[in-house]
Structure 1
């Protein structure tokens, strides 16, 4: 999102995180801007029953955790590496200086945050009113549009696990599996070697 050279010019450092390593924890105050160089990061928390709710999944060139950084509020979720990942960390004061001195970057950050807010409001409406098939397709189509899923000969490869789809849509994994099979029968999705394509 922000050019690596620009981030490094303001003092960003690269840090590697192993799979399942925590980047920051729910309840902590933010100290850095984070942008992914490689890998996959999820932000999630758990309800009282211990069920995980994924707030978002982030990929290469995406940033995460900015709203609390701007608001100086505690993180509402944990950030965890889904796979081995490399992330750029820029201290908050240097990030704010970067934004002040680079208006075009500020606009890009605002657009990115607006996109996430729009997605959250769309998904909140979906989760409260729509059937599982509609929810799953809405999430998949959002992933194609905004997560740069690869287009292959069979269609777009959906880079979410069944568990992640469940956690992102508020559905049980069993429901997700049944829904995907039903959508395959209708010719809306393809399942090839357990991978889902749209």
Structure 2
């Protein structure tokens, strides 16, 4: 059984996805969310053995968009395959979604059987399913040897900017490998204050470990 999550702010879109997957014997929809924050909150309530195998996710959503959600969730829940399901076929959106960790990229007007094939491809074959139009764009990048958009990504900048200046400073020292006592000594604060700041960093970045914080910071060059 392939367990599916759906993340889209429009109820009509979620309904259409449910209808397209209705009656498929090995597909079960176990989670629906209206944006990235809603998804991250709802997934906390699930047993780690019962996480979605594949999440179908929109890009343009309030509170936390699809690219930000994939960037965070693909680090926190590395077993989940994220397939973008969107109306956007512009180069920057495609590039940013793949960079964030998306396993596939489909357009909402693709045929319903393409969605089912994409789910099986990502889950069973560890593939990277794409709409033909998206695949052509990706192939063009490869032929040109292009790096069309620079790093760090501006798409996720406001995730980092949700941290205070002090929290960003502490995150920088964490990435450099300093422990709590060393950070406290450098900043002339107590180790307990450092722990409090780090707890708030985890909460704001929707992660739960030092390793995940470092991985996210390295991924987007937050230094």
Greater fraction helix: 2
TM-score (normalised: structure 1): 0.28
Greater fraction strand: 1
Higher relative contact order (CA 8 A, sep 6+): 1
TM-score (normalised: structure 2): 0.26
